[in-house]
């Protein structure tokens, strides 16, 4: 129910970004944003978004402020419309959000951004959604956001239902259970030229590899679930590199080609190979962007960060442990 004029409804939430070990790329329903393949990710403590949503009577349109600058509200409005439809709140909203890392650069700002928005907007509208409903709501904003609802290791199911109600994420392992560490090597602070939504649409339409990508996704998920159940870090790392390189092969075979790497990304891949050859168990993964994320165990994080920091073109490294799920802030 809507509030009387002048009476704001507000809530603030924090969500962490995540990095997929088994990647999502492609949709089986674009309108409902249902993924064509399942995915498994790590929630990253070091990368986060804080978002305040205020439904305000009398506003003519939704406002989206990102790090203090007015930004395009189209995608946020889409999610807010879903919340308005199910809550009966009619007012437009002011969304004020901060990412503590570069936006739209391949560090999954859409994941933490839409997870935080889903939690804050539903609370501000007075909805009490359970974890599954929140994950589905976040997925409507961005597929990877469904996973950022949860901490640790998380799986997002593609599901089979036309309404997408069986396409939600669930935690696989809580963050304390296995001390995995991710070293993020940032090679470019600017925004990528093709965002993930447009990129994956192009791959589905034009790449001859796309059907194989969808067909083989289930095997990758099953192998990763087993590696996690066995706490087999080497197997987890090998599968993550395989899913990453298979995704980038699919991207490169898209027309026009999606080549998200720069020279520093390639150099960082070779630095990971060299570290591994020297006996350090470390593996890489890369999303739709030029940043490399190295997967390692905590005792090697300093060495890995030092080595990646010395790669020409790497501008910054950040070490992240596994983070917790999205939460409301006081
Ligand atoms: P990334 O690699 O950072 O996820 P994408 O191109 O997939 O890049 O997504 C970037 C888009 O996500 C932005 O253009 C914006 O629409 C949305 N986004 C980023 N940060 C936020 C935020 N804090 N709140 C809501 N939406 C956000
Ligand atoms: C390469 O979740 O950003 O990071 O659902 O269209 O918003 P939309 O796409 P998005 O794509 C993420 C792609 C990826 C792989 C992954 O996170 O699984």
CATH number at residue 102: 3.30.230.10
Distance in angstroms (rounded) separating the CA atoms of residues 83 and 136: 12
Nearest CA owner, ligand 1 atom 10:
104
Ligand 2 binding pocket includes 147 (Cβ within 6 Å): no
Measured distance CA(246)–CA(238) in Å, rounded: 12
Residues 153 and 265 placed together within one structural domain of the fold: no
Q: Count of domains in the chain?
A: 2
Query: Could you tell me the CA-to-CA distances from 47 to 87, 111, 173, 184 in Å, in that order?
Result: 30, 11, 19, 10
- From CA 74, how far away is CA 128, in angstroms rounded? 25
In a domain, residue 330? The reply is: no
Return all residues near 38 (Cβ < 8 A) that are at least 6 apart: 22, 24, 155, 156, 157, 158, 217, 218, 221
Instruction: Give, for 238, the enclosing helix (H) or strand (E).
Output: helix 233-252
Domain co-membership, 122 together with 22:
yes
According to DSSP, residue 298 is labeled G
Q: E strand or H helix at 283, and its extent?
A: strand 283-285
Question: Where does a domain end: 176, 197, 213?
Answer: 176
Based on the fold, state whether residues 16 and 139 are members of the same structural domain: yes
pLDDT of residue 132: 98
> Where is the domain boundary, 176, 192, 208?
176
End residue of a domain, out of 112, 142, 176: 176
Asked if 235 and 87 sit in the same domain, the reply is no
pTM over 0.75: yes
Residue 329 belongs to some domain of the structure = no
- On whether both 29 and 71 belong to a single domain, the answer is yes
Same domain, 186 and 108: no
For residues 217 and 263, membership in a common domain is answered with yes
Instruction: Provide the domain limits for residue 202.
Output: 181-321
**Which pLDDT score is estimated for 1?**
37
Residues 47 and 21 in one domain: yes
Indicate if 121 and 73 belong to the same structural domain.
yes
Chunked mean pLDDT (size 10), the chain, 330 residues = 63 98 98 98 97 96 96 98 97 97 89 98 98 98 98 98 98 96 95 93 98 98 98 98 98 98 98 98 97 98 98 97 97
Report the C-alpha gap between 140 and 209 in whole angstroms: 26
Taking the centre of ligand 2 as the mean of its atom positions, its distance from the CA of residue 2, in whole angstroms, is 33
Q: Which of 110, 137, 192 to mutate to test the pocket of ligand 1 (most atoms within 8 A of CB)?
A: 110
If you search the block for the tokens 């506003």, which residue do you land on?
Answer: 59
Looking at residue 6, its pLDDT comes to 59
pLDDT value, residue 2: 39
Same domain, 64 and 48: yes
Which of 265-304 are b and which e, b meaning 16 or more Cβ less than 10 Å from the residue's Cβ?
Answer: bebbbebbeebbeeebebbbbbbbbbbbbbbbeeebbeeb
Shared-domain flag, residues 21 and 169: yes
| Shared-domain flag, residues 270 and 172 | no
């Amino acid at each position: 129910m809507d509030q009387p004029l002048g009476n704001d409804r507000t809530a603030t939430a924090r969500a962490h970004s995540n990095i997929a070990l088994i990647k999502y790329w492609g949709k089986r329903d674009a309108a409902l944003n249902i993924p064509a393949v399942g995915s498994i990710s790590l929630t990253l403590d070091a990368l986060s978004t804080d978002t305040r949503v205020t439904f305000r009577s009398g506003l003519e349109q939704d406002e989206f402020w990102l790090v203090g600058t007015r930004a395009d509200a189209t995608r946020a409005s889409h999610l807010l419309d879903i919340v308005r439809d199910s809550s009966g709140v009619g007012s437009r909203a002011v969304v004020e959000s901060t990412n503590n890392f570069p936006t739209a650069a391949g560090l999954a700002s859409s994941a933490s951004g839409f997870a935080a928005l889903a939690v804050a907007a539903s609370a501000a509208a007075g909805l009490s959604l359970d974890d599954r409903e929140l994950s589905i709501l976040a997925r409507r904003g961005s597929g990877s956001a469904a996973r950022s609802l949860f901490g640790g290791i998380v799986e997002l199911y593609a599901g089979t239902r036309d309404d997408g109600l069986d396409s939600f994420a669930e935690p696989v392992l809580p963050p304390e259970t296995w001390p995995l560490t991710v070293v993020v090597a940032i090679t470019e602070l600017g925004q990528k030229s093709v965002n993930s939504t447009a990129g994956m649409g192009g791959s589905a339409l034009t790449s001859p590899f796309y059907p194989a990508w969808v067909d083989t996704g289930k095997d990758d998920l099953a192998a990763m679930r087993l590696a996690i159940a066995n706490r087999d870090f080497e197997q987890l790392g090998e599968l993550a590199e395989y899913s990453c390189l298979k995704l980038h092969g699919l991207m490169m075979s898209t027309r026009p080609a999606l080549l998200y790497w720069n020279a520093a990304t390639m150099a960082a891949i070779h630095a990971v190979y060299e570290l591994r050859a020297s006996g350090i168990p470390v593996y890489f993964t890369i999303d739709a962007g030029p940043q490399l994320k190295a997967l390692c165990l905590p005792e090697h994080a300093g060495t890995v960060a030092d080595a990646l920091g010395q790669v020409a073109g790497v501008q910054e490294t950040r070490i992240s442990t596994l983070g917790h799920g999205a939460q409301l802030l006081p």
